[in-house]
Structure 1
Amino acid sequence: MYDSPPELQGSTQEPTVLGAASIPREDWDRAPWNRWSFQHVRELVPTAQVWRGPGPATALPVALQDIDGIAFESDGQPATIGSFFEANYADGFLVLHHGRVVAERYFNGMTSHSQHLSQSVAKSVVGTVAGILIGRGVLDPAAPVTYYLPELETTAYRGATVQQVLDMTTGVVFDETYTALDSHIAKMDVASGWKARKDPSWPTHVFELILQLQASQSVHGAIFNYRSVETDVLAFVLQSATGLLLPELVSRELWSPMGAEEDAYFTVDSAGYGLADGGFNATLRDYARFALLHLGGGEIGGRRLLPSSWLEDTRFAARPDLFQGVYRDILPRGAYRNQFWIEDVERGAYMARGVFGQLIYIDPVGEFAAVVLSSWPEFLHAPRTRASLAAVRAIRDALA
């Protein structure tokens, strides 16, 4: 069985019914409005198309299985996959095993054609495009960032390499505190066009924010520290290397040759820049095709897009010794490499993650992947994150 199955409504929860006119401009991406807005971003902020191209969609064979009764435990509490959906504000859920869709569920009014905000899953999409360009020799990861962006000689990025940006191991100070009103990430909300500009000293677009980053907290390469802006620096590097704006670049190098079924889109700032660190929107099934590309070692539909050597580097060359502190609360054996979270460098399972509960979990050893799209009330919630990971591992192990 191929192509789109009937919509699988997996929850009795009533969908949230809202509209752009009823969403507060400053809080459109926060609870409770995110239950609606994460599927309607282009109705709220400016966006740019990521064209799927003229070719056929890559087929997703379907062999559905009943997974609701699979049991798991998280933080000492027993649960089942069925109860996980209800408790974790799920919007979409899809499981791939041996190249087939074994589970596909939609909640909260989402359908197979709904495009959902991926938040920082976008980072891994952009990182994958970087891998494609590295494989073709268009991008040199060992080169200084300033080789591609000489404007950054006056910033704390001076001396950092492209690989250090990919791995978020530069020493640049960037405050990622989501709830602080004056953090760098709050300024990013304004610079990206997600929020209104109230302080005239704040940047008007993302590159202006990057140019303002003057402080260092460590030498480059010393330690991992999650900085969303690193993905935007990477995106400007990619744009400089190719002469293409990010939405067109993702279309040409990834979305079209991957065989996406639907267009995707990025939110854009006042300068027309597509927000690499969190502004990407796509359907559940196309996120699954992205996972299938990774499960295929860089091949999909008989086409090689991504060097297998780059994927091996992503999975096994990460540095757990640079991955310290709070990051080990969720991934005690984890690491970060090439814009992906590595679960552990021994098995090589890895993932794309985003705030409010977005997850693409990829385990090539088990020929398994899971896509979770959510609209949590919280930016970050460690128990929910642990539950999500425990749930997908339980499904993986049950299917093995």
Structure 2
Amino acid sequence: MKRFLAAAALLAVTTGCNASDAAADAITPDMLPKDLNVLFWNQDQRDLAFRTMEKVPKVVVNQIEAGDDVYPLPEGAPIDLGMDVDAYMAKQRNAGLIIVEDGKIRLEKYALGYGPAGRWTSFSVAKSFASTLVGAAVKDGYIKSLDDKVTAYIPGLKGSAYDDVSVRQLLTMTSGVKWNEDYTDPKSDVAMFNRQQPVAGEDITVSYMKTLPREAPAGSKWVYKTGETNLIGVLVSSATGKSLSQYLSEKVWKPFAMEQDAVWMLGATGHEISGCCISASLKDYARFGQFILNGGVAGGEKMLPDDWLAAATTRQADIGVPGRGYGYQWWTNDDGSFAAQGIFGQGIFIDPKRKLVIASNGNWPVATDPEGVGAEREAFYKAVQAAVDREKRR
């Protein structure tokens, strides 16, 4: 596999193929963090590691194989956003930003020494990939119904709070099982479950999640839980008998003709961390958006049930934010747009009405900041929508 990018040119904003991908091999494992607790890496460590997570000591990955063909993303006319995009990217600490409208690239820029040949980690953007694999498994008959109990596919959860939880409730994060996703608290569940000691014959995610107590009836309360997306990955692998990387390659990466191989980080017991940690190129993140925008069709074959995307990308749970909700591991907006989002500025925004995909990679100063850089990103999405609308009116 290709290895990409170096420590040089960390602050240069470039476009297209001018980015300094060729210096990638200058990043060596001794330059990277020695622990795996990404929430407590410093900014310089993140700048290096996010572009080459597979080189971080102790990290093991599976390859998501691409095929021989490449889904075309031809260049379109530059889009006039009426703003200084370079300044926006610098404030966001974007490594890459791409706008694809009606299948054509309207803007593509890179920074932080990153470029089009490189990969960048996804964090929770991977959640939307994982839920899409549930849809594929339903279409393929591996999962019979979203109303099945989770324990039918993950027997190790029997006797826990997950006895009452359906696959659908896992997808919508409405299990009612107690969880703390505070990224600043080293004692939160999202920090602690990464320190779970492996148990022989059991996935490490199951070992931790089965210890959690119930705080609300199943289906009655939404709480964001990365650990439950990790359970979704275990469920898909258990149902299909395949690794997530293999299944994603079979259902999306090869048939939709992604340009590059991607990688997916493994947990301590050798299973993909499905709530996180796919590393792919910026254009392939945009191509995944196109796959969803095109109705889940790849290689002329529909990979998802006919009604899947209509449910997955619309509000299934109230998150307490006006105009927004949560679908099947997608953040939804009442205007019909939706997004995959990951900490530190990763995102894929999809607007079917405008045939619009915006993919971004970055390294925000903090993991999550909904009132600061997060709000600025939402404003950028709206600015792009407005620019597309202005063009349509001409």
Kindly report which structure 2 residues correspond to 1:177-196, keeping only aligned pairs within 5 A, or say none: 177-191=182-196
Q: 1:339 aligns with which of 326, 329, 333?
A: 329
- Residue 34 of structure 2 corresponds to which residue in structure 1? 25
Q: Please say if residues 62 and 264 of structure 2, whose CA atoms lie closer than 8 Å, have aligned partners that are also in contact.
A: yes
- Residue 48 of structure 1 corresponds to which residue in structure 2? 61
Q: 1:373 aligns with which of 327, 343, 361?
A: 361
CA deviation digits over 1:311-343, x for unaligned, max 9? 111233x245x322xxx2xxx211111110002
Using the TM superposition, give the Cα deviation of residue 50 of structure 1 relative to its aligned residue in structure 2, in angstroms.
3.1
CA change 1:184–1:28 in 2 (3 A) is closer
> What is the alpha-carbon distance in structure 2 between the residues aligned to residue 64 and residue 129 of structure 1?
34
Task: Look up the equivalent residue of 1:149 and give its one-letter code.
Answer: I
In the alignment of these two chains, the number of paired residues is 363
Q: Secondary structure at the match of 1:92?
A: strand
CA change 1:66–1:362 in 2 (3 A) is closer
Q: Please say if residues 298 and 306 of structure 1, whose CA atoms lie closer than 8 Å, have aligned partners that are also in contact.
A: yes
Task: Look up the equivalent residue of 1:248 and give its one-letter code.
Answer: Q
- Residue 210 of structure 2 corresponds to which residue in structure 1? 211
Using the TM superposition, give the Cα deviation of residue 231 of structure 1 relative to its aligned residue in structure 2, in angstroms.
0.6
% identity of equivalent residues: 25
Task: Look up the equivalent residue of 1:315 and give its one-letter code.
Answer: T
Task: Look up the equivalent residue of 2:53 and give its one-letter code.
Answer: V
> What is the alpha-carbon distance in structure 1 between the residues aligned to residue 298 and residue 156 of structure 2?
38
> What is the alpha-carbon distance in structure 2 between the residues aligned to residue 361 and residue 8 of structure 1?
25
> What is the alpha-carbon distance in structure 1 between the residues aligned to residue 159 and residue 132 of structure 2?
28
Q: Secondary structure at the match of 2:384?
A: helix
- Residue 146 of structure 2 corresponds to which residue in structure 1? 141
> What is the alpha-carbon distance in structure 1 between the residues aligned to residue 27 and residue 379 of structure 2?
32
Q: Please say if residues 62 and 266 of structure 2, whose CA atoms lie closer than 8 Å, have aligned partners that are also in contact.
A: no
> What is the alpha-carbon distance in structure 2 between the residues aligned to residue 289 and residue 301 of structure 1?
13
Using the TM superposition, give the Cα deviation of residue 179 of structure 1 relative to its aligned residue in structure 2, in angstroms.
1.6
- Residue 57 of structure 1 corresponds to which residue in structure 2? 70
CA change 1:313–1:300 in 2 (3 A) is same
Structure 2 segments unaligned to the other structure (5+ residues):
1-14, 390-394
Q: 2:302 aligns with which of 301, 304, 326?
A: 304
> What is the alpha-carbon distance in structure 1 between the residues aligned to residue 342 and residue 139 of structure 2?
26
Using the TM superposition, give the Cα deviation of residue 307 of structure 1 relative to its aligned residue in structure 2, in angstroms.
3.3
CA change 1:269–1:319 in 2 (3 A) is closer
CA deviation digits over 1:91-135, x for unaligned, max 9? 011111011111111111111121111000000011111112222
- Residue 220 of structure 2 corresponds to which residue in structure 1? 222
> What is the alpha-carbon distance in structure 2 between the residues aligned to residue 364 and residue 334 of structure 1?
16
Task: Look up the equivalent residue of 1:97 and give its one-letter code.
Answer: E
Using the TM superposition, give the Cα deviation of residue 23 of structure 1 relative to its aligned residue in structure 2, in angstroms.
3.3
Task: Look up the equivalent residue of 1:256 and give its one-letter code.
Answer: K
Q: Secondary structure at the match of 1:133?
A: helix
> What is the alpha-carbon distance in structure 2 between the residues aligned to residue 177 and residue 20 of structure 1?
29
Task: Look up the equivalent residue of 1:247 and give its one-letter code.
Answer: S
Q: 1:394 aligns with which of 346, 364, 383?
A: 383
Does 1:37 pair with 2:44? no
- Residue 384 of structure 1 corresponds to which residue in structure 2? 373
TM-score computed with the length of structure 1 as normaliser: 0.85
> What is the alpha-carbon distance in structure 1 between the residues aligned to residue 27 and residue 65 of structure 2?
29
Moved more, 178-187 or 111-120: 178-187
> What is the alpha-carbon distance in structure 1 between the residues aligned to residue 79 and residue 361 of structure 2?
19
Kindly report which structure 2 residues correspond to 1:151-162, keeping only aligned pairs within 5 A, or say none: 151-162=156-167
Using the TM superposition, give the Cα deviation of residue 236 of structure 1 relative to its aligned residue in structure 2, in angstroms.
0.9
Does 1:125 pair with 2:113? no
CA change 1:64–1:26 in 2 (3 A) is farther
- Residue 254 of structure 2 corresponds to which residue in structure 1? 256
Moved more, 128-137 or 384-393: 128-137
Q: Please say if residues 324 and 333 of structure 2, whose CA atoms lie closer than 8 Å, have aligned partners that are also in contact.
A: yes
Q: 1:231 aligns with which of 223, 229, 232?
A: 229
Task: Look up the equivalent residue of 1:342 and give its one-letter code.
Answer: T
Structure 1 segments unaligned to the other structure (5+ residues):
72-79, 192-196
Task: Look up the equivalent residue of 1:280 and give its one-letter code.
Answer: I
Using the TM superposition, give the Cα deviation of residue 66 of structure 1 relative to its aligned residue in structure 2, in angstroms.
4.7
- Residue 264 of structure 2 corresponds to which residue in structure 1? 266
Does 1:361 pair with 2:349? yes
Using the TM superposition, give the Cα deviation of residue 301 of structure 1 relative to its aligned residue in structure 2, in angstroms.
5.4
Q: Please say if residues 117 and 281 of structure 2, whose CA atoms lie closer than 8 Å, have aligned partners that are also in contact.
A: yes
Using the TM superposition, give the Cα deviation of residue 204 of structure 1 relative to its aligned residue in structure 2, in angstroms.
9.2
> What is the alpha-carbon distance in structure 2 between the residues aligned to residue 50 and residue 341 of structure 1?
27
Using the TM superposition, give the Cα deviation of residue 245 of structure 1 relative to its aligned residue in structure 2, in angstroms.
1.8
Does 1:70 pair with 2:66? no
RMSD over equivalenced CA pairs, Å: 2.4
Moved more, 332-341 or 39-48: 39-48
CA deviation digits over 1:109-166, x for unaligned, max 9? 1111211110000000111111122223321211000111122112111110000000
